[in-house]
């Protein structure tokens, strides 16, 4: 990817309204987001010749193409590992454009998570699937450890034990995200901030995780248009240049249950991604004005700050003190409210927010934003991006 750095850009972003019950099919949501992204870029469906989505998306590329009027496709791809795919979709699109496999690629993610398939519900069948994942899960699921919240709670408890983090430290992340969402009109929790006391009084989901440590469930869709940087300069919006993109898995990796590593307090797969992003871009954490971190559960926001090098291992609780990750702080995190506050669209809405920050059009605009680092789902094989101004 080093030779591809800077050669591609995100030229258009589009989304549906984020809701708890859309009343529409996932295909309808995907089509609306794609139309909006193309309109944002000033392109027509006929200009698209590639599509990338998540393996978990219910909509086949050909179905979305038919629904939106997109014709022939010369490239299509699907990226694995749930939310870990978010930045990976952009990476696949960028590689396709830079190598000539396609000229313009749409990345999309759509689902009715709240009104349809609810990702956070227990699934006893996970431990019985005749697959490598089924074998992994058979060590945990039969004993009741069967939800993402429960899996992350195991990591969180160990992190607290080793580094002295507290539930209040996790709560500071939730408070910051809801504060940002409260001033973002597109956010589900617009005008609904919370206090640290609200966080502490919210019900337990799996100790040490409260309800307000867990992201929301959303209906909606987001789409992104990736093309060459040269072409993007001639389109409707200023380009968000893809300066670095990476995917990563680490030694002993499992699907959110990597409990057998010697150190169970970090996210080494994010460390793999971080190393690639910094080396590829030539940037350092000091060059970043704002970050978009995958905030499906608050403890993993702390771990990501450490893996990305914004602070040493175990010191994120101190790093975020005194509103450091809030608007006006040393490193504003998720100015849109993230998945805790805006919507949970598997991280794709975070990429759209990064583009808005670089364009200078965000609801909670961070002054003089030139470089943004973005992460995808954590606890799983993951991906990341650095987007910059042209």
Q: Which residues are catalytic?
A: 294, 344
CATH class of 2-116+215-388: alpha beta
Q: To the nearest whole number, what is the mean pLDDT of the chain?
A: 95
For the chain, the straight-line distance linking the first and the last C-alpha, in angstroms and rounded, comes to 18
> What's the confidence (pLDDT) of residue 124?
65
pTM: 0.96
Angle ∠(373,20,93) on CA atoms, nearest 5: 35
Q: Which CA distances in Å does 297 have to 148, 182, 212, 256, 377?
A: 9, 19, 9, 12, 10
**Helix 348-359 / helix 86-98 crossing angle, nearest 10 deg:** 60
d(Cα 297, Cα 379) in Å, to the nearest integer? Answer: 10
The tokens for 64 are 């979305």
* Cβ-contact 281, 5 below 8 angstroms: yes
Q: Is the dihedral of CA 145, 148, 149, 153 positive or negative?
A: positive
Give the residue-averaged pLDDT of 136-150.
87
From start to end of 281-356, where are the E strands?
Answer: 290-292
Give the residue-averaged pLDDT of 240-253.
97
Report residue 121's pLDDT band, with 50, 70 and 90 as the boundaries. low
pLDDT digits over 158-187, tens only?
999 999 999 999 999 999 999 999 999 999
More confident call, 275 vs 21: 275
Those residues with Cβ within 8 angstroms of residue 98's Cβ, 6 or more apart along the chain or in another chain: 4, 7, 8, 228
Give the residue-averaged pLDDT of 109-137.
76
More confident call, 214 vs 117: 214
Q: What is the dihedral of CA 9, 48, 247, 126, to 10 degrees?
A: 150
């Amino acid at each position: 990817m080093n030779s591809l750095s800077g050669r591609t850009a995100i030229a258009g972003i589009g989304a549906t309204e984020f809701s708890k019950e859309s009343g529409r099919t996932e295909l309808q949501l995907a089509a609306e987001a794609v139309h909006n992204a193309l309109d944002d870029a000033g392109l027509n469906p006929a200009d698209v010749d590639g599509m990338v989505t998540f393996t978990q998306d219910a909509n086949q590329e050909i179905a979305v193409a038919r629904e939106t009027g997109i014709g022939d496709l010369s490239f299509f791809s699907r990226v694995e590992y749930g939310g870990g795919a978010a930045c990976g979709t952009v990476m696949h699109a960028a590689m396709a454009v830079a190598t000539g496999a396609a000229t313009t690629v749409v990345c999309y993610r759509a689902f009715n998570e709240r009104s349809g398939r609810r990702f956070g519900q227990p699934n006893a069948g996970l431990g019985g699937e005749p697959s490598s994942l089924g074998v992994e899960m058979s060590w945990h699921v039969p004993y009741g450890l069967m939800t993402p919240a429960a899996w992350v709670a195991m990591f969180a408890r160990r992190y607290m034990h080793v580094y002295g983090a507290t539930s209040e430290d996790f709560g500071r992340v939730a408070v910051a995200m809801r504060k940002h969402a409260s001033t973002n009109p597109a956010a589900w929790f617009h005008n609904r901030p919370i206090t640290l006391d609200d966080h502490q009084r919210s019900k337990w989901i799996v100790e040490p995780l409260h309800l307000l440590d867990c992201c929301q469930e959303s209906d909606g869709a987001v789409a992104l248009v990736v093309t060459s940087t040269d072409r993007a300069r001639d389109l409707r919006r200023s380009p968000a240049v893809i300066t670095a993109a990476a995917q990563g898995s680490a030694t002993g990796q499992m699907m959110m249950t990597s409990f057998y590593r010697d150190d169970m307090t970090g996210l080494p797969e994010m460390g793999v991604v971080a190393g690639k992003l910094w080396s590829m871009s030539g940037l350092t954490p000091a060059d970043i004005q704002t970050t978009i971190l995958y905030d499906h559960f608050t403890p993993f926001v702390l771990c990501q700050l450490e893996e990305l090098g914004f602070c040493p291992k175990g010191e994120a609780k101190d790093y975020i003190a005194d509103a450091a990750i809030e608007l006006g702080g040393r490193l504003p995190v998720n100015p849109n409210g993230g998945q805790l506050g805006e919507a949970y669209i598997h991280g794709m809405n975070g990429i759209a927010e990064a583009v808005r920050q670089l364009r200078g059009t965000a609801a909670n605009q961070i002054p003089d934003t030139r470089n943004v680092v973005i992460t995808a789902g954590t606890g799983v094989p993951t991906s990341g991006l650095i987007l910059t101004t042209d």
